[in-house]
């Protein structure tokens, strides 16, 4: 049944609202990374002098410019690793739109849902991103000592985190916090299975950018199926 929820989410991927959330998240990510590089370049220009005098050699010019250009490949390399978590965090701010699109198409008779404000969405996305990064940094120890099992550990750890986050996100649109917690505990096995299903694509480049969108859509179906049952 969890796989059915995922396939229903996958079939709705061409929905314009899905594409809008993805493109908005990517645009904000690129803007942030460009802004970070600009700040780093300013910092380098402020800290590194343009000319340097060396014994027996004399004055050497263009030091600051060379340092600025040398930072380019470093920033590009950092962008490769930062793109996914930052894009996921930005996309997470707008996941209410994904749940709305799913409910409009598949559950049109539902009453209006409770929506998070922008500030609340930012706080929740930042909190989840911090938790995701912190837990995976701790899990690095397990990856090192249990290298053959590293993929299973990665999927298991992130399955727990993603399952908890997306189940909470969707449930809070229709329930009070105490009810949402009870819902998560009551269906923890299916929520974990759906979380693992979301964690597997995290290891596939480019596809992992779709995980927040597919996660929100899948868990919207899962919530309504389990709550109906």
Alpha carbon distance 160, 72 (integer Å): 37
- Average pLDDT value for the chain: 77
Query: Predicted confidence band at 107 (pLDDT cuts at 50, 70, 90)?
Result: very high
- Whether the pLDDT of residue 18 is over 60: the answer is yes
Where residue 105 falls among pLDDT bands split at 50, 70, 90?
very high
DSSP letter string over 119-175? Answer: HHHHHHHHHHHHHHHHHHHHHHHHHHHTGGGHHHHHHHHHHHHHHHHHHHHHHTTTS
The pLDDT assigned to 2 comes to 82
Of the two residues 15 and 205, the one the predictor is more confident about is 15
Can you give the pLDDT at residue 128? 67
- Between 225 and 59, whose confidence is greater? 225
Q: What is the mean pLDDT of residues 127-156?
A: 75
Centre a 10 Å sphere on the Cβ of residue 148 and count the other Cβ atoms it contains. Answer: 6
Q: Please give the pLDDT value at position 103.
A: 92
**CA neighbours closer than 13 Å in the CB half-sphere of residue 35:** 6
Alpha helices in 48-62 (DSSP H): none
- Count of the separate structural domains present in the chain: 1
pTM, full prediction: 0.71
Can you state the percent helix, strand and coil of the chain, rounding each to 5? Answer: 80, 5, 15
Q: What is the Cα–Cα distance from 96 to 115, expressed in whole angstroms?
A: 7
Q: What is the pLDDT of residues 20-76, one digit of tens each?
A: 888 887 787 777 777 777 777 777 666 665 565 556 665 565 555 666 666 666 666
CB proximity list for 210: less than 8 A, separation 6 or greater: 13, 22, 201
Length of the chain counted residue by residue = 229
% of the chain exceeding 70 in pLDDT: 68
pLDDT at 101: 92
Q: Is the pLDDT of residue 131 over 60?
A: yes
195 is in which domain, residue-wise? 2-228
């Amino acid at each position: 049944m969890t796989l059915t929820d995922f396939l229903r989410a996958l079939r709705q991927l061409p929905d314009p609202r899905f594409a809008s959330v993805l493109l908005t998240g990517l645009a904000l990510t690129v803007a942030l990374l460009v802004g970070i590089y600009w700040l780093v370049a300013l910092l380098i220009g402020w800290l590194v002098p343009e000319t340097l005098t060396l014994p027996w050699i004399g004055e050497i010019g263009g030091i600051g410019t060379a340092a600025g250009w040398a930072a380019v490949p470093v920033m590009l390399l950092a962008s490769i690793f930062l793109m996914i978590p930052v894009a996921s965090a930005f996309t997470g701010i707008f996941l209410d739109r994904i749940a709305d699109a799913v409910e409009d198409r598949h559950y049109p008779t539902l009453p209006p849902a409770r929506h998070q404000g922008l500030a609340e969405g930012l706080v929740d996305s930042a909190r989840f991103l911090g938790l995701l990064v912190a837990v995976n940094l701790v899990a690095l120890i397990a990856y090192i000592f249990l290298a053959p099992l590293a993929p299973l550990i990665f999927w298991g750890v992130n399955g727990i985190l993603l399952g908890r986050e997306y189940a909470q996100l969707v449930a809070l649109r229709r329930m009070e916090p105490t009810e949402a917690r009870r819902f998560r505990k009551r269906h923890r096995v299916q929520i974990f299975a759906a979380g693992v299903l979301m964690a597997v694509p995290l290891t596939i480049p480019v596809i992992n950018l779709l995980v927040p969108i597919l996660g929100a859509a899948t868990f919207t179906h899962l919530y309504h199926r389990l709550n109906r049952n």
